[in-house]
Amino acid sequence: MALGTFVLGDAALALLLWTSVLCHPYPFCAWLFTSATYIASLSSSIFIYRAYLHPLANVRGPFLARLSKLWAVAVTVEGRNHATIAELHAKYGDFIRIGPNEVSMSNVAAIHAIYGPRSTLLILLRSPRYKGVPRPANSESLMSFRDHTQHAQRHKVWDRAFTTSALKDYNPLLTHRVQQLSDRLTSESLRGAVDVGKWFSACSFDIMGDLAFDGAFELVENGDVGGYWQTLNEAIRIGAIFINLPWMAAKMPFLPLASKKAKLENFAERQVRGRLEKVAHSKDLSYWLVRGDSPSEAVLVIIAGSDSTTLVSFFLFFFLAQHPAAVARLRQEFQDTHNKYGELTIENLSDLPYLNACINESLRLYPPVPNGHPRRAPEGGATVAEQFIPEGTTVIIPAYTIQRDPKYWCDPNAFRPERWLPEGVTAGRKDDFRAFIPFSYGPYACIGRNLARQEIRLLVATVISRFDFELVEGFDPQEFEKQITGEFLLTRPALPMILHERAQGKHAWRFMKLFLIEYAV
Ligand code: HEM
């Protein structure tokens, strides 16, 4: 610890003894005065050390962030993490200090060094373990391993669930749920404006429920009867705050986070047991992953795979509603594919360049996990992108920031799917796609990304083929964007839209429906 801390701490102790002598007839006053002096001088010595003497003292960033983690907590509670870090990078540059012991980097040269396979930086915030806090039995999941060998072993189990042929097996589930969603959108549209994000999210949860528990939620059909959807969202939000104070979350089981986690895990355990008692009628994710002893894997599927996927379609519809030319181009692409192959299958959708470009552009502008994944510099520190990161410092590369960094993207805040196509080169300057990391990078990157893309493509193609859509009158896109908050995941404000079943698209929808029915049976 800092020399300054000891010097000032000892001075306060000397003062304590001295005032005890002076205030001898009034011991309580002496105690009060000296305790206050001791605490004040101890805190100020810590603050002085962190602000001026710490190895990161020369790294620029907000002054309060140097002093305490509470700065990060306040920004997280306010929900402006993603935007604040982007603004700070715009002000101070590639390398900034965002906590007493934390830095953030917006530099493509750092991505491989920090997250790549041979990175020397340590994995963080994967189920932190603290002395004296026993880890419950059977609570390991892929995301809880920090040890590379253990992680690689569990990864192999998950890999089997994401092979091309396994993904193909999930198509009937996906198509059934997307059909259910589009029917729900039709019935909702008859009542007026539809908050599409709510139904996209319900559909994603139902899909992950199918994959993890062989069907569990039925949110599109029945709504959130068990309150699990709400619990999960609250657990993610509270968890994002306690990421900044993990010791507190671990040591205080009475905090709301613990009860919400327990509710989810009990639910998962019941579902997993039920799943084991049933004969699987399809090779879903749980067919590959279920180990009766680990409901944590099933909870991980739901947490990692549902709202993250929803957000991509959600923001894409927000942009498309303002870009009719992009919608027309998508419809043309669906029509051409139909003409070419005679049908539009999940497999055909995967090769559509403009559809994929639109999805990438949504992932770029609003990466569902916006704030980066922390790693810690090892003993002796590490040099990354020519910056020395002192031992024990936590470092992140925030996806939201780097994916809008003008160093790497032309017109970085504009929705421009063409940038992903050969025609997208403008004025001799190309975007730098290395700065695209919505699924993170390296061995700990998202294992479910192909499944997520499959689901998003099907949902977008289905809804666009079936509906004309527009934002409600008076909707203010700028106001909407201001309401987006970024905790662990981005949040989705209400997006009310007017939907009409398409007359001229009836043909396209009919054939899409036939395809959906064919898959769903
Ligand atoms: C568009 C949707 C998605 C996005 C943006 C996304 C993003 C991410 C990111 C950024 C990570 C890395 C977290 C870290 O480094 O700590 C991650 C990990 C993970 N994701 Fe996804 N994800 C998505 C969909 C899915 C789906 C559908 C699943 C399916 C179950 C899934 C399962 C996982 C798992 C299991 C991990 C942990 C991987 C590991 O530790 O090796 N994700 N995801």
114: part of which helix (H) or strand (E)? helix 108-115
What phi and psi values does residue 104 have, to the nearest 5 degrees? -125, 140
State if residue 303 touches ligand 1 by the CB under 6 angstroms criterion.
no
CA distance 144 to 112: 22
Please provide the average confidence, as pLDDT, over all residues in the chain. 82
CA 141 to chain centre: 17
State if residue 142 touches ligand 1 by the CB under 6 angstroms criterion.
yes
Which residues are within 8 A (CB) of 99 and not within 5 positions of it... i.e. 6 or more apart?
A: 65, 69, 71, 72, 394
Asked whether residue 511 carries a pLDDT value surpassing 70, the answer given is no
Q: pLDDT class for 248, splitting at 50, 70, 90?
A: low
Helix axis angle for 196-213 and 295-305, nearest 10°, is 150
State if residue 298 touches ligand 1 by the CB under 6 angstroms criterion.
no
pLDDT above 70: percentage of residues in the chain: 75
Instruction: Encode pLDDT of 105-156 as tens digits.
Output: 999 999 999 998 878 777 665 444 434 444 554 566 777 777 788 888 888 8
SS3 per-residue string spanning 296-365: HHHHHHHHHHCHHHHHHHHHHHHHHCCCHHHHHHHHHHHHHHHHHHCCCCHHHHCCCHHHHHHHHHHHHH
Least confident span in 175-184, 401-410, 480-489: 480-489
Averaged pLDDT, 432-451 = 94
Q: Which residue has the tokens 């196509």?
A: 421
CA 408 to chain centre: 22
Q: What is the pLDDT of residue 513?
A: 52
From 125, 232, 289, 308, the mutation candidate for ligand 1 (largest count of ligand atoms within 8 A of CB) is 308
State if residue 451 touches ligand 1 by the CB under 6 angstroms criterion.
yes
Q: pLDDT class for 480, splitting at 50, 70, 90?
A: very high
446 is in an annotated binding site: yes
DSSP secondary structure of 217-255: --HHHH-STTSHHHHHHHHHHHHHHHTTSHHHHHH-TTS
Instruction: Provide the 10 A C-beta neighbour count for residue 478.
Output: 6
Structure-model confidence comparison of residues 69 and 17, the more confident one: 69
Distance 154 CA to ligand 1 centre (A): 15
DSSP SS3 for 490: strand
Q: Which residues does residue 96 pair with via DSSP β-bridges, in sequence order?
A: 104
Q: What is the pLDDT of residue 129?
A: 43
Instruction: Encode pLDDT of 486-501 as tens digits.
Output: 878 898 999 999 999 9
Q: What is the pLDDT of residue 127?
A: 47
Instruction: Encode pLDDT of 333-361 as tens digits.
Output: 999 988 888 877 888 899 899 999 999 99
Averaged pLDDT, 191-219 = 88
62: part of which helix (H) or strand (E)? none
Q: Which DSSP letter does residue 128 get?
A: -
Atom of ligand 1 nearest to the CA of 453: 1
Question: Which token pair is 319?
Answer: 């942009």
Distance 46 CA to ligand 1 centre (A): 38
User: What is the ipTM metric for this complex?
Assistant: 0.98
Q: pLDDT class for 174, splitting at 50, 70, 90?
A: very high
Q: Name which residue sits closest to atom 7 of ligand 1, judged by CA.
A: 439
Helices (DSSP H) in 146-225: which residue ranges?
148-160, 164-169, 171-189, 196-213, 219-222
What phi and psi values does residue 97 have, to the nearest 5 degrees? -100, 125
Q: What is the pLDDT of residue 130?
A: 39
CATH 3.40.50.1700 fits 148-369+446-520, yes or no: no
Structure-model confidence comparison of residues 284 and 303, the more confident one: 303
Name the residue among 221, 125, 213, 146 with its Cα closest to residue 177. Answer: 221
What phi and psi values does residue 442 have, to the nearest 5 degrees? 85, -165
Q: Which residue has the tokens 């997280």?
A: 76
Cβ–Cβ < 8 Å for 520, 176: yes
Averaged pLDDT, 43-69 = 87
State if residue 145 touches ligand 1 by the CB under 6 angstroms criterion.
no
State if residue 305 touches ligand 1 by the CB under 6 angstroms criterion.
yes
Angle at the Cα of 458 from the Cα atoms of 453 and 462, rounded to 5 degrees? 150
Cβ–Cβ < 8 Å for 121, 105: no
Q: State the Rg of the chain over Cα.
A: 26
State if residue 454 touches ligand 1 by the CB under 6 angstroms criterion.
no
Which residues are within 8 A (CB) of 156 and not within 5 positions of it... i.e. 6 or more apart?
A: none
DSSP SS3 for 129: coil
Q: What is the pLDDT of residue 479?
A: 95
pLDDT above 90: percentage of residues in the chain: 44
Q: What is the pLDDT of residue 80?
A: 86
388: part of which helix (H) or strand (E)? strand 387-389
Structure-model confidence comparison of residues 510 and 472, the more confident one: 472
Cβ–Cβ < 8 Å for 497, 317: yes
Q: Name which residue sits closest to atom 30 of ligand 1, judged by CA.
A: 301
Least confident span in 21-35, 311-325, 402-416: 21-35
Q: What is the pLDDT of residue 39?
A: 77
Where along the chain do its domains lie?
A: 1-53, 69-130+374-437, 148-369+446-520
